């Protein structure tokens, strides 16, 4: 791939290992100093080089269409480092991402605080007055990670970039970074020739969500009138949902919380999988006697809900709810999920809803790509969803959009209220009736010590695979345990009325173990079976599992 045109404004003598910044199909790093043992590696010059490399990658793709000058949108979540990485510095209109792009001769549309899915949408919106659509979009976010981290996500109108694209971009960024260390400052300043414009894109994006809900209620202006809905944005970027979506639709939103962006996340981690976060929104629903609660992660690509009785609608339950809605619209369709979904969910989707459950791998991009793949080989799928709250629909360009998921729930509510104006979240709760749920659900993460002698100099991945192979063999000898007939990652086993899955983490030197069982005793039996099989692997830290089986 060609390096960015026109040089870059990058200047740094510090060494950066760019490939270490790859996290699957995202870029993640430490952007703020202050946490011991976590030196900053996503510096401003490194970010600038990555942005320039994205522009070069995109130009390479678009050159066939004769395009020489690109339009790229940039947005960010509420992280404190967003300002270093994206916002204007003083009056010189330069900053890491913007400078990286404009120095390469391309134009920037700055959206400011934005959600990840909105950034993707800006590659599709037809609105020339606002310089839309853009050729590519960059979101500055590290999702729910601690305040010192940050990262980048890239989009074209085809969706999010994949792992191989990110690797190419990082390799190119490394070259740009090296080259720029040798270029003169004046040369770099002269190279700045792209134009920077600011657009209030979140208003444009939100008005599309509003229209969708109105449409499902027969074009009623305020279809949520009389409903009380509280939102918890966890001080991330999701606060817009209150003023720009719920209020125009007529909902009462008092009691909504943590709507103000605050990159130190002082209230709770913005993550719908997090117990404290779910407790916070549940409490807000109960305290305000609200009809519904909605919670987003930092950059709004994930979400969850709470019904008026305080029942959490997240993880398997949210997938079941979305599956019920999607299967009404597309009978018999396949629902693709991640690997840690419950057996109860399969029974629900297949027996109650008449759909097909395709349990695939962990990782939202894996799940989405698998659904796209199934469609391409003739198996119809309209929903791809992870227990983490990432969910994508075919009708929405296979984009994982937490706000769009909630809009699907609002559509259901709005449509039901055209028939019965007193009906609330019961409409939703009724849809998941019959979903069997295990009394005990745990995830225990077993760490692999990468420096341990037992690795014999090999990689943690090889070591983890060896653990999994050994476990698989051991299971074969236990008549109470049965390997899942179809499984795409790790070792998934049924027994003692429940199941477990041991697999390699997508990113970390960790083997996450998920167990679901009807009683603690049964869960312990499953845990003991794993423990017995892995105990000879001395580089594996089984302390947490030991604790679990002894409790
Ligand atoms: O494999 P793990 O360490 O459990 O991480 C798995 C998770 O990683 C990231 O957070 C991805 O965004 C998720 O889609 C994925 O589920």
pLDDT of 4 higher than 50: no
Beta-carbon contacts of residue 219 (< 8 Å; ≥ 6 apart): none
Phi then psi dihedrals of residue 23, to 5 deg:
-135, 85
- Is residue 92 within 8 Å of 129, Cβ to Cβ? no
3-state secondary structure 251-307: CECCCCECCCCCCCCCCCCCCCCCHHHHHHHHHHHHHCCCCEEEEECCCCCEEEEEE
pLDDT of 5 higher than 70: no
Shortest-distance atom of ligand 1 to CA 23: 9
**Closest residue by CA, ligand 1 atom 10:** 363
Pocket test for ligand 1, best of 388, 460, 512 (most atoms within 8 A of CB): 388
Q: What pLDDT does residue 2 have?
A: 37
- Check residues 522 and 10 and name the one with the higher pLDDT: 522
**Closest residue by CA, ligand 1 atom 8:** 363
Shortest-distance atom of ligand 1 to CA 387: 16
**Closest residue by CA, ligand 1 atom 4:** 505
Ligand 1 lined by 144 (C-beta under 6 Å) = no
Distance between the two ends of the chain, CA-based, in angstroms? 56
In this predicted structure, which of 12-21, 109-118, 316-325 has the lowest mean pLDDT? Answer: 12-21
Shortest-distance atom of ligand 1 to CA 390: 14
Ligand 1 lined by 512 (C-beta under 6 Å) = yes
CA 391 to chain centre: 9
Please, what is the average pLDDT of the chain? 93
Beta-carbon contacts of residue 176 (< 8 Å; ≥ 6 apart): 3, 4, 8, 10, 49, 52, 53, 56
- Rounded Cα distance, 41 and 35, in Å: 13
**Mean predicted confidence (pLDDT) in 255-260:** 98
Confidence tier at 84 by pLDDT (50, 70, 90): confident
Measured in Å, residue 506 CA sits from the centre of ligand 1 at 6
Closest to 316 in 3D by CA, of 357, 282, 284, 280: 357
Percent of the chain surpassing pLDDT 70: 94
**Closest residue by CA, ligand 1 atom 11:** 363
pLDDT of 190 higher than 60: no
Shortest-distance atom of ligand 1 to CA 508: 3
pLDDT of 184 higher than 70: no
Q: Across the strands, what pairs with 492?
A: 501
Measured in Å, residue 503 CA sits from the centre of ligand 1 at 12
Residue 358's H or E segment, with its range, is: strand 356-359
- The pTM score is 0.93
Closest to 52 in 3D by CA, of 104, 106, 123, 11: 104
Q: What pLDDT does residue 191 have?
A: 57
Pocket test for ligand 1, best of 297, 501, 506, 508 (most atoms within 8 A of CB): 506
Q: What pLDDT does residue 94 have?
A: 47
Domains of the chain, start order: 18-199 (3.40.120.10), 204-431 (3.40.120.10), 440-550 (3.30.310.50)
Confidence tier at 444 by pLDDT (50, 70, 90): very high
3-state secondary structure 102-113: HCCCCEEEEEEE
Q: What pLDDT does residue 115 have?
A: 98
Shortest-distance atom of ligand 1 to CA 506: 1
Shortest-distance atom of ligand 1 to CA 365: 14
2 DSSP assignment: P
pLDDT of 515 higher than 60: yes
In this predicted structure, which of 39-48, 90-99, 346-355, 467-476 has the lowest mean pLDDT? Answer: 90-99
Ligand 1 lined by 364 (C-beta under 6 Å) = yes
Ligand 1 lined by 190 (C-beta under 6 Å) = no
Residue located via tokens 């950066």: 16
Q: Given its phi and psi angles, is residue 143 left (phi above 0), alpha (psi -120 to 50 degrees) or beta?
A: left
- Is residue 267 within 8 Å of 280, Cβ to Cβ? yes
| Tokens coding 96 | 């890491």
Ligand 1 lined by 390 (C-beta under 6 Å) = yes
pLDDT of 161 higher than 70: yes
- Residue pLDDT, tens place only, 192-248: 689 999 999 999 999 999 999 999 999 999 999 999 999 999 999 999 999 999 999
Write out the E strands in 182-273. Answer: 196-198, 229-232
Kindly report the number of other CB atoms within 10 A of residue 63's CB atom: 11
pLDDT of 88 higher than 80: no
Ligand 1 lined by 508 (C-beta under 6 Å) = yes
Measured in Å, residue 542 CA sits from the centre of ligand 1 at 21
- Is residue 98 within 8 Å of 193, Cβ to Cβ? no
pLDDT of 379 higher than 70: yes
């Amino acid at each position: 791939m060609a390096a960015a045109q026109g040089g870059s404004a990058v200047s740094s003598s510090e060494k950066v290992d760019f490939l270490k910044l790859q996290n699957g199909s995202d870029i993640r790093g430490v952007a703020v100093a202050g946490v011991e043992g976590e030196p900053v590696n996503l510096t401003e010059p490194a970010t600038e080089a990555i942005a320039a490399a994205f522009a070069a990658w995109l130009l390479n793709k678009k050159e066939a269409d004769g395009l020489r000058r690109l339009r790229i949108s940039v947005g960010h979540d509420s992280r404190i480092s967003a300002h270093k990485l994206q916002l204007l510095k003083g009056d010189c209109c330069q900053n890491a991402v913007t400078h990286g792009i404009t120095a390469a001769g391309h134009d920037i549309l700055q959206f400011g605080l934005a959600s990840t899915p909105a950034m993707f949408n800006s590659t599709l919106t037809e609105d020339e007055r606002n310089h839309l659509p853009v050729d590519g979009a960059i979101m500055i976010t590290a999702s729910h990670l601690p305040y010192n981290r940050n990262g980048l996500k890239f989009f074209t109108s085809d969706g999010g970039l994949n792992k191989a694209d990110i690797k190419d971009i990082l390799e190119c960024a490394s070259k740009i970074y090296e080259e720029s260390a040798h270029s003169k400052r004046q040369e770099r300043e002269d190279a700045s020739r792209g134009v920077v414009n600011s657009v209030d894109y979140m208003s444009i994006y939100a008005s599309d969500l509003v229209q969708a809900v109105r449409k499902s209620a027969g074009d009623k202006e305020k279809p949520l009138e009389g409903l009380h809905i509280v939102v918890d944005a966890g001080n991330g970027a999701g606060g817009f949902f209150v003023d720009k979506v719920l209020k125009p639709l007529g909902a009462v939103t008092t009691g909504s919380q943590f709507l103000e962006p605050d990159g130190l996340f002082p209230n709770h981690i913005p993550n719908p999988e997090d117990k404290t976060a779910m407790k916070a929104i549940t409490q807000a629903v109960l305290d305000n006697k609200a009809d519904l609660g909605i919670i987003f992660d930092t950059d709004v690509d994930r979400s969850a809900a709470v019904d008026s009785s305080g029942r959490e609608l997240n993880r398997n339950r949210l997938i079941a709810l979305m599956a019920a809605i999607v299967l009404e619209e597309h009978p018999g369709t396949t629902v693709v999920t991640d690997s840690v979904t419950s057996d109860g969910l399969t029974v629900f989707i297949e027996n109650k809803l008449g759909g097909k459950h395709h349990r695939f791998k962990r990782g939202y991009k894996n799940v989405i790509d698998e659904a796209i793949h199934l469609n391409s080989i003739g198996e119809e799928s309209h929903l791809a969803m992870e227990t983490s709250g990432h969910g994508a629909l075919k009708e929405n360009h296979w984009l994982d959009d937490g706000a769009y998921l909630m809009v699907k729930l609002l559509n259901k509510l709005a449509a039901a209220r055209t028939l019965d104006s007193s009906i609330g979240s019961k409409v939703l709760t009724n849809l998941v009736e019959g979903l069997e749920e295990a009394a005990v659900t745990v995830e225990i993460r077993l760490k692999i010590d990468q420096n341990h002698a037992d690795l014999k100099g090999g990689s943690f991945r090889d070591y983890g695979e060896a653990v999994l192979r050994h476990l698989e063999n051991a299971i074969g000898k236990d008549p109470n345990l049965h390997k899942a007939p179809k499984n795409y990652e790790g070792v998934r086993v049924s027994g003692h009325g429940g199941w477990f899955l041991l697999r390699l983490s997508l990113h970390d030197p960790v083997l996450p173990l998920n167990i679901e069982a009807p009683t603690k005793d049964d869960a312990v039996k499953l845990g003991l079976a794993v423990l017995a099989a892995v105990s000879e692997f001395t580089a594996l830290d089984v302390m947490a599992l030991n604790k679990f089986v002894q409790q």
